[in-house]
Amino acid sequence: MNSNNGTPGDLFTNAGGSNQGQAIVGSSWYYNNTRFSGSVGINTTYARSGNGSAYVGGTQDSSKADIELLPNAVGFGGNFFSNGVLGTLGSLNSLSYEWYRDSSSTARPDLHPVIRLLIDADGNLNTTGDRGGLVFERAYNGGGAVPTNQWVAENVFLSNANMWTFGAGMSFAQLGYGITLSGWQAGAGTISGSSAIIGISMGIGSGWGGSFAGAVDNVSFGFTGGQSYSFNFEVVPTPGAMAILGMGGLVVARRRRAQA
């Protein structure tokens, strides 16, 4: 998945208090839910598996910023919402990603960029009052301070991690904490195996107790009987760099012809 801009990439920031987003051109990915000086973008700040990763950060306790895969998304009020289905919760057979926390962050030491499954509980996209999500974070899987200044690989599916809920019809007040991914798949509250996964979200939340700087990359997930997905966030080379690469290829071609 490539940035909107060339090197060193892009960064979407919203200083206001209402959620705002921006499309990543040529994809179903969006910078989304950005508010209170949250920032998100594919850039070279914490390059991983190539020349980029998806930066997420904020300057204050209330900052928020996400990068989200939203099939058939529609825009409303400057933010974006899914209008499509990736697969069912029951058929999910893999979920992993990598995250990074910079040691300059002043947010609580147990916090890191999270991954969320965006859910339509009854699987019917025509009814939107039952939408929310399942969230993985280490704070509810043993807790403690997380590593800093290094990339951490997180396999949420294989570890059968606890995931907490948010959203209408599935709030954490109902069940919420201490339920594993397989537990949700088996049916807990309003969520079941037939619930639709309508998006994948990664980012930082508000109320984190301070500033945050970090990134996510290499997100993978798949469905039994369906499609598997893998995304590596990269920065599009600048036109100048592409021209140099093209000239290099031309030189090599000329040398091969000369040798022939």
- The pLDDT score that the predictor gives to residue 9 is 98
The torsion region of residue 160 among left (phi > 0), alpha (psi -120 to 50) and beta comes to left
CA-closest candidate to residue 3, choices 42, 34, 50, 45 = 42
Number of folded domains that form the chain: 1
HSE-CB for 38 with a 13 A CA cutoff: 28
pLDDT of 2-43, one tens digit each?
Answer: 999 999 999 999 999 999 999 999 999 999 999 999 999 999
pLDDT of 187-245, one tens digit each?
Answer: 988 889 999 999 999 999 888 999 999 999 999 999 999 999 999 999 997 554 443 33
Number of H helices, E strands in the chain: 2, 19
- The pLDDT score that the predictor gives to residue 188 is 84
Amino acid at 141: N
Give the CATH number of the domain where residue 201 resides.
2.60.120
* Spatial contact of 199 and 71, defined as CB atoms under 8 Å apart: yes
pLDDT of 91 > 70? The answer is yes
- The pLDDT score that the predictor gives to residue 167 is 83
The b/e string for 2-22 (b: 16+ C-beta within 10 A; e otherwise) is bbbbbebbbbbbbeeeebbbb
pLDDT of 173 > 50? The answer is no
Query: What range does the domain containing 223 cover?
Result: 2-259
* Spatial contact of 206 and 83, defined as CB atoms under 8 Å apart: no
Mean pLDDT calculated for residue range 75-79: 97
- The pLDDT score that the predictor gives to residue 190 is 84
pLDDT of 97-134, one tens digit each?
Answer: 999 999 999 999 999 999 999 999 999 999 988 999 99
For residue 20, what is the enclosing H or E element? strand 20-23
- pTM, rounded to two decimals: 0.90
CA distance 163 to 181: 6
CA distance 23 to 131: 21
